[in-house]
Structure 1
Amino acid sequence: MTTLTLPSPAKLNLFLHIVGRRPDGYHELQTLFQFLDYGDDLTFTLTPEQPGVRLAESLPDVPDDDNLILRAARLLAAQAKHPLLGVTIAVTKRLPMGGGLGGGSSNAATVLVGLNHLWALGLSEDRLAELGLSLGADVPVFVRGRAAFAEGVGERLTPANPPEDWFVVLKPPCNINTGKIFSEQGLTRDTPKIKIRPAFEGDASRYRNDCEDVVRGLYPEVNQSLEWLSQFGPARLTGTGACIFGRFPTESAARIIWESKPSGITGFVAQGVNQSPLHTKLTEPK
């Protein structure tokens, strides 16, 4: 096989609690990750005549040295014990950058998993997750490919099975600086720890996104979008935003709300899935 196209799915933080702050300044989190059946696609083309790792086309406003796709591919190539075929990676980008959907982390994980497969490196899932963590805290959950309750900075994962409901995901017209949110004085950093739950058991008000109040105060576009979507049921920020989501029991219910969204807001409708579409693709019969 010389060409392979693999999905790079979005994730949602179904809740995000900040339970403390470490001496190194990083925040201790508890969150529930679930994948969506929507995301980017990466196409890998092996190039025996041209060694090295390259993009078919650079991403706008992302220097190659900062691009997680190239960084992941080079990191993986350094693990090889024999010369590797070159590879060109083409990106079909659907996920908004800086939206809280994990697009860059997902891209990095798809590179690690996909090239480990294509290059026949035989690295274990644990080793790939370890490499992924060096690229970003959210990369390991995409490498492992299972919905999970996450702790620490997001790297300690326990598989979970939240309901595979449908979601309306909206991207308000603003970009959010994650560092700014986590440095805000008003950010809640002492939410009591909870024990793992397989889903939202009991009182749903116990679960929230601790970044949401700060983001709503700083970004009126997010606040307005949350107020609009909350008319139809609970709506929440994912990660530090800017994307927000509402949960619905059926695709038709989600699409009715989607069709009535305010102008100027982009987004999509997708189903939550507990196995990553990346892993589903790699394990389906040839």
Structure 2
Amino acid sequence: MTVTLTLPSPAKLNLFLHINGRRDDGYHELQTLFQFLDYGDELSFTLRDDDQLALEPSLPGVPDEDNLIIRAARLLAAHSDKAVPGVTIAINKRLPMGGGLGGGSSNAATVLLALNHLWQLDLEIDTLASLGLQLGADVPVFVRGTAAWAEGVGEILTPAMPPEDWFVVLKPSCDINTAKIFSQEGLTRDTPRIKIAPAFEGDASRYRNDCEDVVCRLYPEVRKSLDWLSQFGPARLTGTGACIFGRFPTESAARIIWESKPSGIKGFVAKGVNHSPLHKKLTELK
């Protein structure tokens, strides 16, 4: 009997992103607040009769061997102390690549959790998060599945409960290279550290995205979209972009703004959630 498991791979937002310094190894120390969205990719896993790990379809411009989906599957298989069957992984890609929404990291986390279940490895979340960190700094938050205050390079996580508002997310027509942004001399790298606090309570000006000015200078499309969305309330870049978001108290308020967006700009409306849709789905399977 063919065994297939279909799971969500949700997006995330960086509700703010402060860069506190640069380490000797070139990585940046940061503080950020991650929240999930009830919107994202979808991955389907079908066990095979052989030991092959296959991706369908391949993503344009990304060789399968470099894709975080296959890398996560190979990493988990190598960590297992028993032989595991192969799997075909089908992806319904809804999140834009290079958007700052964590699509690749989320995909990797969904693979780790899904195959831990299908292969009956029974690995603890801490182990899976540690494996995920080998794939990228954002993978552990998706593995753990709880909105989180993050420090270090993004791997030191403390559960958080920001308001579960609605968001308009816009994707300007440009692709942003994260390494290029973090290498810019004009990037703010000395924002003072702040203590964990409920997000956006009190003085909202304390919170910003330190990458925003550099990104807007290099990518005018981002500045244009940010200026437009800012007419309706505070708008901000997520990660290093290119996506920007504005928060609204209700779905209807968000959809009114969405319907008035300029032509040619892609995006979506979604609800912020503090518990990952992936983990909710996995809980239903137990």
TM-score, structure 2 as length reference: 0.98
Give me the whole-angstrom Cα distance separating, in 2, the residues matched to 1:87 and 1:219: 40
Q: Secondary structure at the match of 1:78?
A: helix
Q: Secondary structure at the match of 2:79?
A: coil
1:102 shift after superposition: 0.2
The residue type equivalent to 1:163 in the other structure is: P
The residue type equivalent to 1:108 in the other structure is: A
Mapped pair 1:25 → 2:21 = no
Q: Secondary structure at the match of 2:112?
A: helix
The worse-fitting range, judged by mean Cα deviation, of 80-89 and 68-77 is 80-89
Unaligned residue ranges in structure 1 (runs of 5+): none
1:284 shift after superposition: 2.2
Superposed counterparts of 1:63-212, under 5 Å: 63-212=63-212
Query: After the TM superposition, which parts of structure 1 deviate over 2 Å for at least 4 consecutive aligned residues?
Result: none
Deviations 1:7-47 (A, max 9, x none): 00000000000001101110000000000000000000011
Q: Secondary structure at the match of 1:284?
A: helix
Mapped pair 1:14 → 2:8 = no
Deviations 1:228-265 (A, max 9, x none): 00000000000000000000000000000000000111
Give me the whole-angstrom Cα distance separating, in 1, the residues matched to 2:115 and 2:101: 23
1:53 shift after superposition: 1.0
Mapped pair 1:259 → 2:259 = yes
Give me the whole-angstrom Cα distance separating, in 1, the residues matched to 2:88 and 2:280: 23
Deviations 1:205-228 (A, max 9, x none): 000000000011111000000000
Q: Secondary structure at the match of 1:129?
A: helix
Alignment correspondent of 2:62: 62
TM-score, structure 1 as length reference: 0.98
Deviations 1:185-212 (A, max 9, x none): 1100000000001222210000000000
The worse-fitting range, judged by mean Cα deviation, of 76-85 and 250-259 is 76-85
Give me the whole-angstrom Cα distance separating, in 2, the residues matched to 1:216 and 1:79: 42
The residue type equivalent to 1:82 in the other structure is: K
Give me the whole-angstrom Cα distance separating, in 2, the residues matched to 1:198 and 1:231: 25
1:56 shift after superposition: 2.4
1:282 shift after superposition: 0.6
Give me the whole-angstrom Cα distance separating, in 2, the residues matched to 1:285 and 1:153: 33
Give me the whole-angstrom Cα distance separating, in 2, the residues matched to 1:51 and 1:285: 25
Give me the whole-angstrom Cα distance separating, in 1, the residues matched to 2:4 and 2:179: 38
Give me the whole-angstrom Cα distance separating, in 2, the residues matched to 1:64 and 1:56: 9
Q: CA RMSD in A?
A: 0.9
Alignment correspondent of 1:237: 237
